[in-house]
Structure 1
Amino acid sequence: MNTTTFESRGEIGLIRIDHTPRNSVTLDSAEQFLTAITQAMNSSCKAVVITGTDDSFCAGMNLKEVPNYTPEQQCRLLELANKNICTLYSSPKPVIAAVNGHAVGAGLTIALACDYRIAADGDHFAYGLTEARAGIPFPACPAVAVRAELAPQDVRFLTLYSKNVNARQIHSRRVVDEIVPHDQVLERAIAVAEDMASIPADSYAAVKGQFRNDAIQKMKDIVANNSDPMMSKWVSDSGMDAADSMLSQKPQA
């Protein structure tokens, strides 16, 4: 059974992405993710950890399913993608990404919308913003997050070279804050969450607003007006031809 769940562990909330194959994004999984993060925001927890299952955090859009969606389904998925990233990025609570493995495309933008990012070390894990090669351009809010969180040269490299890289590369480009062994990712993320939960909630939210307000407002406007430019045509005919599994690509050393 495919489920993305939220559970409260005292002051820490845990969202676990669990969708086959490799926690890839579909309409169903995006709906469940929005439900889970809404529950987390409305709960009494003081910090939130997001993680995946097995060797995948989130492998991006399901490239066998999404390119075949109807225009109406594509619009709904765009709407959900924008709401999900906006909700995470503007969260008044600390959100920690426990990136337990493959994080590609939409998966890496989820991590970028979090406040602290810990990823699994190892050359066999793929990390990348491969939307160009997959034929599925960025939704508007994820694009805002990428520009806000990465240095311009890293935006250029990751989005336009558009290949998966390994943990050392993604760490050297400051996409993630730490890399640790796979079996320590969740434990370390919970420790960081517990530390960040001790920050006074009002001052945390205020400081986040001071430094993220411009990007957050852009996202909120996109969501409120449903104004993503991709609404008119998201996955092109050439994009459908390009949509094969990006995880078969060997990460660049």
Structure 2
Amino acid sequence: MIEVETSGEITVVRLAHGKVNALDLELCREIAATAREADAGRAGAVVLTGSGRAFSAGVDLERVMSGGADYVEAFLPALSEAFRALFDLGKPVVAAINGHAIAGGCVLAAACDHRVMAEGTIGVPELLVGVPFPAAALEIMEYALGPVAARRAILDGRNHPAAEALALGFVDEVTSQETLLERALAVAGRLAATIPADAFRHTKRQLHAGAAGRLGAETETARLWRTAAADGRIRAFMDRTVAARRAPESSQD
């Protein structure tokens, strides 16, 4: 589900959960636990990456639909906790975006201090799915992109290839797949080596203070997710997405 290894003074956390590292209850809990362990551990920095063709394709919508209201009640707090645990990690955290980072996957990347992207697309299509953002996700996106860019990205809902993502501020730099991990490790190592750990942790807490202070109850968010799991809007979005992917293949026949 998650692979953890050490590269010098850096902890490398690799999502390895199914074909696209979809966020379900178990993976979210594991992300939160791993982030807390990394924060308390001896490593000076963390690199977060994915496996296969995705960094993370976001929430496992099939699981949401099949699990219904009871699953949503357990899942949403775990999702927010995963976002918060990564966002609050007091050491330098660098995202090595190896492939698609969609919806919740994009939020995970945005929760990191620096984002390096190689392939795939990145974006936040939650509203197109028909569900609202958890408060933690909204605050993280606004922190990462700024209020105006975050509003545009959230209401637009498009996914962007690497060059567009760089221009729009979703990522800090773009590199090749072959050099992705090397570059992420270099950035993480530089941050850990040049900034004293206590100063980094304190400054990161200061930078995040506004977002942390605005986080509140999620009761209405949970209600709307339960509704979406039952009323067909998630299924309609998934059907549209599959149809759009198949359209180019059909046009070549």
- TM-score normalised by the chain length of structure 2: 0.87
Q: Equivalent residue for 2:220?
A: 229
User: Secondary structure of the residue that 2:48 maps to in structure 1?
Assistant: strand
Partner residue of 2:248? none
Instruction: Establish whether residue 155 from structure 1 lines up as the match of residue 153 from structure 2.
Output: no
Is 1:175 aligned to residue 170 of structure 2? yes
Structure 1 residue 238 displacement after superposition:
4.3
The answer (yes or no) to whether the contact 1:78–1:231 under 8 Å persists in 2 is yes
Letter in 2 for 1:216: A
Which has the larger Rg? 2
Displacement after TM superposition at 1:166 (Å): 1.1
1:7 Cα deviation from its structure 2 partner = 2.6
Candidates 234, 238, 244, aligned match of 1:244: 238
Equivalent residues of 1:129, 1:162 under 8 A apart: yes
1:34 to 21, 32, 38: 32
Q: Where do residues 30-109 of structure 1 align in structure 2 (5 Å cutoff)?
A: 30-109=28-107
Structure with more helix by fraction: 2
Choose 102-111 or 77-86, whichever is displaced more: 77-86
User: Are positions 1:217 and 2:217 aligned together?
Assistant: no
Question: Structure 1 length as normaliser, TM-score?
Answer: 0.87
Show CA shifts across 1:172-207 (max 9, x none). Answer: 011110010122111110111111111101111121
Identity of aligned residues (%): 30
The verdict on how the C-alpha distance between 1:154 and 1:97 changes in structure 2, with shifts beyond 3 A counting, is same
Query: For residues 217-238 of structure 1, what are the alpha-carbon distances to aligned partners after superposition, in whole Å with 9 as ceiling and x for unaligned?
Result: 334xx4xxx6453123314214
Cα 1:247–1:157 shift into 2, 3 Å: farther
Number of aligned residues:
240
Instruction: Show structure 2 runs of 5+ residues with no match.
Output: 246-253
Higher relative contact order (CA 8 A, sep 6+): 1
Q: Given the superposition, is the C-alpha separation of residues 249 and 9 from structure 1 closer, same or farther in structure 2, using an over 3 Å criterion?
A: farther
Instruction: Give the CA deviation at 1:247.
Output: 7.9
